[in-house]
Amino acid sequence: MKLFRVNFKMKSGKIKVLVPKKTVLEEFNFKSVSGDSEICEIDAKTVTIKSTSADLQIKEIKSNNSKITTVSGNCDIKSFEFGELNASSVSGDFNIEDGKVEGKLNLNTVSGDFKIENVKSGETKLHTVSGDLDGKEFYPSIVNLKAVSGDIKIRNKDKLNEIKIGLKKTISGSISIK
């Protein structure tokens, strides 16, 4: 099987990226400035997505190592499998739904919110500055939490699936796990 590298750069406009099913990419790199994007059905060893002043919709993505960064734009990620995921936002919101992160999950936000629903993950680090993180049916194996002027809430129905807390630190923000 031959592995491909795919690189996209876009300035303004809209784009929808589709890769044929069963195509495994070595790398998938995507950069967008002032253009909304939809990225679907990506299977790659490494995924890097950067967006500025634009919204992202990411669906059915699979990757060993992923980094997703937004500035002044929102990002929706649905139906995914990651080995590791690093996601960060400045002045934008992330909605992350229906997926699994086998290894490390790192989420950072400054003046943006994270909403996580129906997600399982390995070791997880959540850091918010002037932004909120709302988790529902979110099951990290262990979680480290930091909030500066932002709130972190995790609400789960399965009370037998206990979340281990490694670090819990807040400065004028609140942290709640139920």
Q: Is residue 36 in some structural domain? A: yes
Q: Which residues pair with 43 in a beta bridge?
A: 62
Angle, CA 84 vertex, CA 58 and CA 91 arms, to 5°:
55
pLDDT at 94 over 70: yes
pLDDT at 42 over 60: yes
Q: For 42, list phi and psi in degrees, rounded to 5.
A: -100, 130
- pTM (predicted TM-score): 0.89
Q: How far apart are CA 84 and CA 89, in angstroms?
A: 17
Q: Is residue 5 in some structural domain? A: no
Angle, CA 72 vertex, CA 67 and CA 74 arms, to 5°:
65
pLDDT of residue 161: 86
Q: Is residue 66 in some structural domain? A: yes
Q: Is residue 7 in some structural domain? A: no
Residue 162: enclosing H or E segment and its boundaries? none
Domain containing 36: what range? 26-177
